[in-house]
Structure 1
Amino acid sequence: MGGESVGTETEEQPHGATVVVDGFGLKGPRGWVFRQVSFRAEPGALVAVEGPSGSGRTCLLLALTGRMKAEEGHAEVGGLPLPRKMAAVRRISALGQVPGVNELDPAFTVAEHLRERALLQRRYDGSVRALLRRPAERAAAARARIDEAVKAAGLDLDALPKGERTSVRDLERLEALRLSIALALMGRPRLLAVDDTDLKLSDADRAEAWALLRSLAAAGTTVLAVCSEAPEDALRITTLSGETGETTPRASGTQAPATTEATTTETAAAKTAAPEPGAGARPAADTTTGATDADRAAVGETAADDTTDATTEEGAADALAETGRA
């Protein structure tokens, strides 16, 4: 990105968030997890973070969604600077699947996941006027939001073995991915982040997964996806494992080329920062199963909470460390 300064965003920008990263780096107890990451993605861009397991891909995704605190460089998401506005970035971004952070509960059914997320959205993200609606109106609004998200994620509920009553443990890998994305889309985020996009997918399912993410980006949402191999048409950010490394990923369209330099150990980011306060292995803002009181308090955070201190508890980061992932 050279000498380009971190940009700002105005109200005239599309729904998706501009992501501007300049010399971004995160350091853990064992050294740098990633370093010197620089790129710019316009609203509605599809950004693919590729690289081997343990090369800092997941931690970069969490840092750019305000769930881990970077120590070096600058970044802005939707005009909000990181790490100073981490809580605000969390409010305009959403996580799809991130193993060890917000995994689907295998005992829950698809309907239970969807209803719970709709309840959380209504309780903490709705206007006062919406909360005062009649129960029937609130139920209809929740159903409409569910239907909108399910349709956008391409999840065919009728095709599932038991329809909405299908347990997560009985879902195919691609179906589970679609469900996690549907849950994230219920918050109508400006930035959607998905980990392990192509993990354990057949070639046909991988093509479907990328087609889904392209459709979401085309609709205006900026998409950040971690993968082992990026498609040719995405803005490609490549992380490297080892002492140091540099690469110049290929970019398409009007997206600018990006460079990353990454050093990592698999548990380097374990105690750097935690995605959400008091949420254990599931950050409250992205929970997909039963919400605790701490979860609810975190989801309802206000602008006054918009400080980096709000993310220094270790819950979800410890869970990420336990998976041996970065």
Structure 2
Amino acid sequence: MQTEVAIAVRGLRRSYGGTVAVDGIDLDVARGEVFALLGPNGAGKTTTVEILEGYRRRDAGDVRVLGVDPAAATADWRARVGIVLQGTGEFEELTVREVVQHFAGFYPDGDDPDKVIERVGLTGKARSRTHALSGGQKRRLDVALGIVGRPELLFLDEPTTGFDPAARQEFWELIRDLAAAGTTIVLTTHYLDEAEALADRVGVIAAGTLVEVAPPSRLGDREAAPATVSWRTAEGGSEQTTSTTPTALVAELAERFGGEVPGLTVTRPTLEDVYLRMIGHR
């Protein structure tokens, strides 16, 4: 396997009784990439990620994560992988620093707890007991526990579920900082705006099949899709049309109105539009 590939999957299959959960998935994730895996509940997303994490066996296929088959993972391999679940656990009576220090001891080269706490923006809460943290702060603690082992690869499962808009934006900045430092990140989320904001590429799973993998802006040929152009008419009404050449249409409208086009909007299909079409076809 090439060193620039963090995850390489070929022909991955997994069934539960007579139900096929994952049906022949092929996937590569590059080192340093932020990759978002999208799919409805029951599509095979969780099974796929758990196989990559080494927590679930596969029926068939070849899987290499950081060059190792996760089904035969050693403690050394696990130390190179960070996992942030939807909830890491409860440590009500321990302080933030005590929890991070405790987890750092699980790794042969654990990071400095105070540096990790600073990195996730919890320095001001280092001496606070975890039961006193807000939901967003607890999520930051989850990430601290996921990165305290200095992982090369980090799995994030629905990282901002239940966050308010401000907390989500702060968390996104943390993920961007981790990616900028070279950490490979695999993200599962139901928030399409989150995938678009963070991911270099997204993959859509439906009915156990990987439908498409592409950068968010190009998924489902979004860039080439007809745009909807709308504007206000001289009589005060509204008009809209679809066009494969929206720039030319806007120029024509500008000439017609003698400059600014009132109420002008130009929109292409959103990532959500494309995603819903993809999973609807399955």
Aligned pairs for 1:3-42 within 5 A:
7-9=1-3, 18-29=6-17, 31-42=19-30
Q: 1:82 Cα shift? A: 4.1
Cα distance in 2 between the residues matched to 1:119 and 1:87: 14
Report the TM-score, using the length of structure 1 for normalisation. Answer: 0.58
CA RMSD between the two structures: 3.0
Residue of structure 1 in register with 2:47 after alignment: 59
CA gap 1:75/1:173 in 2 versus in 1, 3 angstroms: same
- In structure 2, which of residues 14, 18, 33 is the aligned counterpart of residue 45 of structure 1? 33
Q: 1:66 Cα shift? A: 1.7
Aligned pairs for 1:244-263 within 5 A:
247-251=211-215
Aligned pairs for 1:247-326 within 5 A:
247-251=211-215
CA gap 1:120/1:83 in 2 versus in 1, 3 angstroms: closer
Cα distance in 2 between the residues matched to 1:188 and 1:24: 28
8 Å CA contact retained: 2:51, 2:58: yes
8 Å CA contact retained: 1:25, 1:70: yes
Aligned pairs for 1:216-227 within 5 A:
216-227=178-189
More strand by share: 2
Larger relative contact order (C-alpha < 8 A, sep ≥ 6)?
1
CA gap 1:239/1:89 in 2 versus in 1, 3 angstroms: farther
CA gap 1:150/1:30 in 2 versus in 1, 3 angstroms: farther
1:148 aligns with 2:115: yes
Q: 1:88 Cα shift? A: 5.3
Cα distance in 2 between the residues matched to 1:67 and 1:244: 18
Look up the SS of the partner of 2:10 in the other structure.
strand
CA gap 1:244/1:96 in 2 versus in 1, 3 angstroms: closer
Cα distance in 1 between the residues matched to 2:76 and 2:102: 23
Residue of structure 2 in register with 1:194 after alignment: 156
Is the radius of gyration larger for structure 1 or structure 2? 2
> Aligned residue pairs: how many?
216
CA gap 1:223/1:115 in 2 versus in 1, 3 angstroms: same
CA gap 1:72/1:112 in 2 versus in 1, 3 angstroms: same
Q: Which runs of 5+ in 1 are unaligned?
A: 1-6, 127-141, 259-326
Equivalent position amino acid for 1:221 in 2: T
Cα distance in 2 between the residues matched to 1:189 and 1:239: 26
Q: Which runs of 5+ in 2 are unaligned?
A: 221-282
Aligned pairs for 1:136-175 within 5 A:
145-153=112-120, 155-158=121-124, 163-175=125-137
CA gap 1:244/1:103 in 2 versus in 1, 3 angstroms: same
Q: 1:86 Cα shift? A: 6.3
